[in-house]
Chain A
Amino acid sequence: MRRQILGLALACFSLGRLAQAQDFKLFNREVEVHGFASQGFVYTNTNNWLTMNSSQGSAAFTDFGFNVSTSVTDKLRVGAQLYDRNLGQLGRYHPSLDWAFADYRFKSWFGVRGGKVKTTVGLYTDTQDEDFLRVFALLPQSVYPTDLRDATIAHLGGDVYGDIFLKHGLGDLYYTAYAGHRSDNAYSGYPYYFASFGAHIANLGGLQYGADLRWKTPLKGVLIGASRTNEDSSAKGTAINPFNPAAGLVPYSEFSKADWTNQFYGQYTVRRLRIDSEYRRYVRDQEIFNGNSESLADVRGWYISGAYRICKRLQIGSYYSRYTITNVVRGPLSAFYPPATDTSLPGNHDYDKVITGRVDLTRFWNAKIEGHFMNGYGSGPYPNGFYTQVNPQGFTPNTDALVVKTSINF
């Protein structure tokens, strides 16, 4: 732990120096280089959280990214970002190409991007890894589950986007429509969840398409928007047949019958105060175990958050985040998985009250301390941070968590 802190301090110092020299010229074009790194520590009083051994105190909460970009012409921009993380049992320091695309902006109201593109869903899906952009160490997990980030973070495909400036003082509209292939990292939350059933998912992903429309209203500081995502995903691997466990691992596949997300959001900014609120509904209807049975999960989450800048160096924030899940299995496997439709049970919800404080030590370096007071552990087929593998003794209904995090960027 001491070595990690020392290493981070050294990295902060080095990156702080680098921040002075982040651009260089290549073929007479300005090339920008930016990066970030964060290190967190989580302690929980009861359940282990986010796949960490957090009840013992865990510092397995590290991520970093590095990007290079340049404008090839006035309208064409190219760039790429590498990202890596270690979050408990997830990520495990297997780097991934976070985004890499070419962006051609014909007009302010019409542009196209192609390559691996960050997906625009709600206020923060595309920036959820960059915690230095906000007060909170962890975004509300009901809407932005960090363990399942791979499901929505990026797609290999393209976007069309633009800004439409409305006349008569009606504000501005911003639209993005996208289509592409989502591909989950083998070290992400969903494959890890599968492993609790003795399954191994070799590949998970599929077609993803959707749109986002946001309106900067004529009311000063008020933004509202809506996002829709449709998916046609599948997973393949091996699993233990619950009807015949003695047979060992057998081929496993699942594919979606319906898989969609609706998200609605609003943001109000006035002077030093920012208030966000989002609602998300995620419906996942899967044919599971090679079409043997069907699993219908209905996830609903919302939050309201407030962040206030007390002075240049100090910000505080708080949010209330509410997550519920219902799950019904139809077919032969229903014998093993009874319907879970009562969202008042702790296994089917997670209500999280959060307070946080952020100190900006320099322009590029911040530290945060955050308290989570959770009721429920929502451990259904769309997990919400609580996994049986790291909680073999079972779950307790309430979990309090202390999160300390520091991050740097340049």
Chain B
Amino acid sequence: MKFSKILLVLAGLMSSGAPNALASQVKVIANWSVRADTVSATDLKRVFLEERNSLADGTHVEPVLGKDGPVHEAFLQRYLEISQDDLQTYYRALVFTGRGSMPKELGSDAEVVAYVARTRGAIGYVSSEASLEGVKTLAIGVPSGSTERKLITRIEPDYPETLKRLNIGGTVRLRVVISAKGNVEECELLGGNPILGESAALAVKKWVYAAGRSRTITEISIQFGGR
């Protein structure tokens, strides 16, 4: 029993090494001229693929890329769903037909933060450990391409007693796939404590949404304990 408690605590304290958890360690940052505090994953993808150069609120935005590295790879995989090589090819096709530009590419988190801080409309991404002085952090919200689904049945997740007693809490982020009928088909941990995430996912899989026209994907956050 004691051993299992230790394992629980260790698991709670350590950060996950899984790819999704790595994606959760990416922070999307923006220049303070960007009015929005939240950007949908879909809009973020469109901004970085230069399909749009403004957000829903009309703010002009300009993507900024990091160079090779785990954070860059995680961002491309999680949000753009494209490999580094394919992305470069994509940008070159824009550049050589005159239909777009090559986004600024910077070598380190510090350079990205500095550039975003001084450039109107700039949006970039850095490791969650990077110093974010002079920039704002954008939360990734519900994709604008999906319809907001009304939640009918909500089951509260269990807060594991050991973590609660040790005051280990925080926010867990989940990506949820809702079927047309309203059942939760998939639930993927995007960020937060993996044990709390597992507990949250068990509960969320029992949630029921209102029926819709098609399957939708949304992101939800669940808070464990006070802040």
* Chain A interface residues (CB < 8 Å from chain B): 32, 34, 36, 65, 67, 69, 71, 74-75, 77, 79-81, 99, 101, 103, 105, 108, 117-118, 126-127, 129-130, 132-134, 163, 165-170, 172, 218, 220, 269, 272, 309, 312, 363, 409
- Are A65 and B101 in contact (CB-based, < 8 A)? no
- Are B95 and A34 in contact (CB-based, < 8 A)? yes
Contact of A133 among B92, B99, B147, B212 (CB under 8 A): B92
Q: Given contacts A34-B96, A108-B52, could you give 18 more A-B pairs where the C-beta distance is less than 8 Å?
A: A32-B95, A32-B102, A71-B101, A75-B53, A77-B101, A80-B98, A103-B99, A108-B46, A118-B97, A126-B97, A130-B93, A133-B93, A133-B96, A169-B215, A170-B214, A218-B214, A269-B86, A363-B88
- The residue of chain B having its C-beta at the shortest distance from the C-beta of A22 within the complex is B102
Chain A neighbourhood of B213, CB < 8 A? 168
A-B pairs with lowest CB-CB distance, top 3 = A108-B52, A74-B60, A79-B98
Chain B neighbourhood of A103, CB < 8 A? 98-99
Indicate if B121 sits at the interface (CB-CB under 8 A).
Answer: yes
Q: Determine which residue in B96, B212, B216 has the highest number of CB atoms from chain A within 10 A of its CB, and name it.
A: B96
The complex places the Cα of A131 from the Cα of B215 at a distance, in Å, of 39
The complex places the Cα of A55 from the Cα of B15 at a distance, in Å, of 64
Q: Determine which residue in B52, B99, B101, B213 has the highest number of CB atoms from chain A within 10 A of its CB, and name it.
A: B99
- Are A169 and B93 in contact (CB-based, < 8 A)? no
The complex places the Cα of A108 from the Cα of B212 at a distance, in Å, of 27
- The residue of chain A having its C-beta at the shortest distance from the C-beta of B90 within the complex is A133
- Are A67 and B96 in contact (CB-based, < 8 A)? yes
The complex places the Cα of A32 from the Cα of B51 at a distance, in Å, of 19
- Are A168 and B54 in contact (CB-based, < 8 A)? no
Contact of B92 among A101, A129, A130 (CB under 8 A): A130
The complex places the Cα of A69 from the Cα of B54 at a distance, in Å, of 20
Chain A neighbourhood of B85, CB < 8 A? 309, 312
Chain B neighbourhood of A129, CB < 8 A? 96
Question: B72-99 CB contact bits vs A (8 Å, 1 = yes)?
Answer: 0000000001010110110011011111
Q: How far is the CB of B188 from chain A (nearest CB, A)?
A: 15
Q: A69-B101, A101-B98, A126-B97 are in contact. Are A74 and B147 (CB under 8 A)?
A: no
Contact of B46 among A105, A165, A272 (CB under 8 A): A165
The complex places the Cα of A170 from the Cα of B145 at a distance, in Å, of 8
Q: How large is the interface on B (under 10, 10 to 19, 20 to 34, 35 or more residues)?
A: 20 to 34
* Chain B interface residues (CB < 8 Å from chain A): 42, 46, 51-54, 60, 81, 83, 85-86, 88-89, 92-93, 95-99, 101-102, 121, 144-147, 212-217
- Are A169 and B216 in contact (CB-based, < 8 A)? yes
- Are A81 and B214 in contact (CB-based, < 8 A)? no
Q: How far is the CB of A222 from chain B (nearest CB, A)?
A: 13
Can you sample 16 A-B contacts with CB below 8 Å? A32-B101, A34-B96, A67-B95, A74-B121, A81-B96, A103-B99, A108-B51, A118-B98, A127-B97, A132-B92, A163-B46, A169-B214, A218-B214, A312-B85, A409-B92, A409-B96
The complex places the Cα of A200 from the Cα of B212 at a distance, in Å, of 65
Chain B neighbourhood of A79, CB < 8 A? 98
Chain A neighbourhood of B54, CB < 8 A? 74, 108
The complex places the Cα of A74 from the Cα of B61 at a distance, in Å, of 9
The complex places the Cα of A272 from the Cα of B88 at a distance, in Å, of 15
Q: A32-B102, A105-B53, A108-B54 are in contact. Are A165 and B145 (CB under 8 A)?
A: yes
- The residue of chain B having its C-beta at the shortest distance from the C-beta of A118 within the complex is B97
- The residue of chain B having its C-beta at the shortest distance from the C-beta of A134 within the complex is B89
- The residue of chain B having its C-beta at the shortest distance from the C-beta of A221 within the complex is B81
Q: How far is the CB of B98 from chain A (nearest CB, A)?
A: 5
The complex places the Cα of A118 from the Cα of B147 at a distance, in Å, of 36
- Are B98 and A69 in contact (CB-based, < 8 A)? yes
- Are B97 and A99 in contact (CB-based, < 8 A)? yes
Chain A neighbourhood of B89, CB < 8 A? 133-134
Chain B neighbourhood of A172, CB < 8 A? 51
- The residue of chain A having its C-beta at the shortest distance from the C-beta of B101 within the complex is A32
- Are B93 and A167 in contact (CB-based, < 8 A)? no
The complex places the Cα of A312 from the Cα of B88 at a distance, in Å, of 12
The complex places the Cα of A34 from the Cα of B19 at a distance, in Å, of 35
Q: How far is the CB of A70 from chain B (nearest CB, A)?
A: 8
The complex places the Cα of A67 from the Cα of B96 at a distance, in Å, of 7
Chain B neighbourhood of A99, CB < 8 A? 97-98
Contact of A36 among B96, B145, B212, B217 (CB under 8 A): B96
- The residue of chain B having its C-beta at the shortest distance from the C-beta of A363 within the complex is B88
Q: How far is the CB of A13 from chain B (nearest CB, A)?
A: 20
Q: How far is the CB of A203 from chain B (nearest CB, A)?
A: 25
Q: A67-B98, A169-B215 are in contact. Are A74 and B92 (CB under 8 A)?
A: no
Chain A neighbourhood of B102, CB < 8 A? 32, 34
The complex places the Cα of A19 from the Cα of B192 at a distance, in Å, of 40
Chain B neighbourhood of A69, CB < 8 A? 95, 98, 101
- The residue of chain A having its C-beta at the shortest distance from the C-beta of B59 within the complex is A74
- Are A167 and B145 in contact (CB-based, < 8 A)? yes
Contact of A81 among B53, B98, B215, B216 (CB under 8 A): B98
- The residue of chain B having its C-beta at the shortest distance from the C-beta of A272 within the complex is B83
Chain A neighbourhood of B88, CB < 8 A? 363
Q: How far is the CB of B5 from chain A (nearest CB, A)?
A: 42
The complex places the Cα of A81 from the Cα of B99 at a distance, in Å, of 12
Q: How far is the CB of A94 from chain B (nearest CB, A)?
A: 20
Q: How far is the CB of B119 from chain A (nearest CB, A)?
A: 10
- Are B98 and A169 in contact (CB-based, < 8 A)? no
- Are B144 and A165 in contact (CB-based, < 8 A)? yes
The complex places the Cα of A170 from the Cα of B95 at a distance, in Å, of 28
The complex places the Cα of A267 from the Cα of B182 at a distance, in Å, of 32
- Are A169 and B99 in contact (CB-based, < 8 A)? no
- Are A130 and B99 in contact (CB-based, < 8 A)? no
Q: How far is the CB of A281 from chain B (nearest CB, A)?
A: 25
Q: How far is the CB of B185 from chain A (nearest CB, A)?
A: 13
Chain B neighbourhood of A132, CB < 8 A? 92
